Structure 1
Amino acid sequence: MASRGGIMVTGTNGADFEHREKIAIQYQLSALNKSRLKYCVFFHHVLFIVMVAKLSADILDKLDIFILEIEELQIPTPLWWEYIWCLSLLLSFLALAAIKRNNITNLRRYMYGIVFLGFGPLLYCLVYYCGDVWRYLTKDEDEDISEMDIELWQGYPYGLLWYAFIFLASQVHFFQLYFCTSLLKAWRARGALRKAD
């Protein structure tokens, strides 16, 4: 052990600690991707709050609760895909449990759930509003939006607003799947090393 002014082992200058302080790469990748996946889950929760705010008028109507401020917003009635996408939030608890215990099976279930409950409804929305968005993007400069056959909300094309949501949500889901795949690789590498020992 090298210390200031103390006894030093012959043949070393005190810099030989570097070879002993290295952490295996699969453990580093696992910790890094767990942290990144937690951030993605957080952003998924933020998008869920945005979706619930949009669905609030319909939910309050079904509960027979009248709030004038929400009714004045004239939020369009929701489609079934919006509620199905909200179910994808429940999967986040599966992901958090999986990364806590390094559970490959639960992480795979989470990935399949994100594909079906996350990307599936978003793909339906993409196709559903494709016509409105195309008409809006290809309109003439002198053509008035209100005269076109486009659904509007607060003066904005409704389909284009949904496309912005799809853009954000699909990025979050893509990164969730990417980090899950990276975690699976790291956990498999660790398991392979254990079997080799």
Structure 2
Amino acid sequence: MASKSGNRPQGSDGSDHWHRESIAWQYKVSSLNKTRLRFDVFLHIILGLFMLIRLAPGLTSLFGFNFMALRRWDLPHPRPWEYAWLFSLVASIIGWRSTPHNNTFLLKQYMLGTVIFGILPIMFGIIELRNDLSAYFTERKYTYVMFGMPAVVLWALFLAICSQLHGFGLYFAVVLVKAWRPRTEKLKQR
């Protein structure tokens, strides 16, 4: 045992550190990637709130409500991929809930929900916007304006940010699934 004052025991100059206990790699990886996944999910929820604000006029008219204040925003009609992407918030909440107790089942559900409701709508959005985006870059033509900017540029930025967030989230989830796998499975694989 070390003491702050007094002599050091004979033969312990500090070079015998290699045999001391240390934290196993899966706990280090788990702790680090849990934090990263939670930050990624937090950013996803923030983007989801922005999307919910953007879709508010369309959602209110979809459910039969009529708010004149929302109609004054003069936003373009919501596209189907935007509604589909909004469901990815459910997957992100499931991912958030999986981290406190290392719940692999919930984490796998998060990964599946992210692929179905996150990545697929983004791919459809990219396919839908490619002609408008090329027309904007070549001729500076655009059809809609949102918040004083061409809507196609804002949609492209949103899709780029979301694709990065979903990619990082899936990567962190895969690393966590590997780290949370029981040790007996790892020993059987050897």
Shorter-chain TM band: 0.7 to 0.9
* AA in 2 matched with 1:28: K
What is the TM-score of this pair, normalised by structure 2? 0.86
Find the aligned partners of 1:56 and 1:115 in 2 and give their Cα distance.
Answer: 25
| Aligned match of 2:58 | 58
Find the aligned partners of 1:191 and 1:100 in 2 and give their Cα distance.
Answer: 22
Larger Rg: 1
Structure 1 residue 19, shift from structure 2 partner: 4.4
CA contact (8 A) 2:107 2:173 kept: yes
Structure 1 residue 187, shift from structure 2 partner: 2.0
Find the aligned partners of 1:182 and 1:190 in 2 and give their Cα distance.
Answer: 15
Structure 1 residue 185, shift from structure 2 partner: 1.9
| Aligned match of 1:152 | 144
CA contact (8 A) 1:2 1:14 kept: no
Q: Quick one: structure 1 residues 9 and 86, their matched pair in 2 at CA, closer, same or farther if it must change by over 3 Å? A: same
* AA in 1 matched with 2:169: Q
Q: Which runs of 5+ in 2 are unaligned?
A: none
| Aligned match of 2:168 | 175
Q: Quick one: structure 1 residues 8 and 193, their matched pair in 2 at CA, closer, same or farther if it must change by over 3 Å? A: farther
Find the aligned partners of 1:19 and 1:35 in 2 and give their Cα distance.
Answer: 29
| Aligned match of 1:27 | 27
CA contact (8 A) 2:133 2:153 kept: yes
Structure 1 residue 58, shift from structure 2 partner: 1.6
Q: Quick one: structure 1 residues 165 and 135, their matched pair in 2 at CA, closer, same or farther if it must change by over 3 Å? A: same
| Aligned match of 1:90 | 90
Q: Quick one: structure 1 residues 50 and 4, their matched pair in 2 at CA, closer, same or farther if it must change by over 3 Å? A: closer
CA contact (8 A) 1:130 1:159 kept: no
Structure 1 residue 14, shift from structure 2 partner: 5.6
CA contact (8 A) 1:26 1:189 kept: no
1:1-197 to structure 2, matched below 5 A, reads 1-6=1-6, 8-13=8-13, 16=16, 19-61=19-61, 62-68=63-69, 70-139=70-139, 145=140, 148=141, 150-154=142-146, 156-188=149-181, 190-192=183-185
Q: Quick one: structure 1 residues 20 and 125, their matched pair in 2 at CA, closer, same or farther if it must change by over 3 Å? A: same
Find the aligned partners of 2:97 and 2:187 in 1 and give their Cα distance.
Answer: 23
Matched residues, percent identical? 36
Q: Deviations over 1:58-110 (max 9, x none)?
A: 22333424243x32220111122211111111112221232222222322221
Find the aligned partners of 2:74 and 2:20 in 1 and give their Cα distance.
Answer: 65
Q: Quick one: structure 1 residues 55 and 4, their matched pair in 2 at CA, closer, same or farther if it must change by over 3 Å? A: closer
What is the TM-score of this pair, normalised by structure 1? 0.83
Q: Deviations over 1:14-62 (max 9, x none)?
A: 6656743521111100110011000000000011011001011122333
Question: How many residue pairs were aligned?
Answer: 187
Greater length-normalized contact order (CA 8 Å, ≥ 6 residues apart): 1
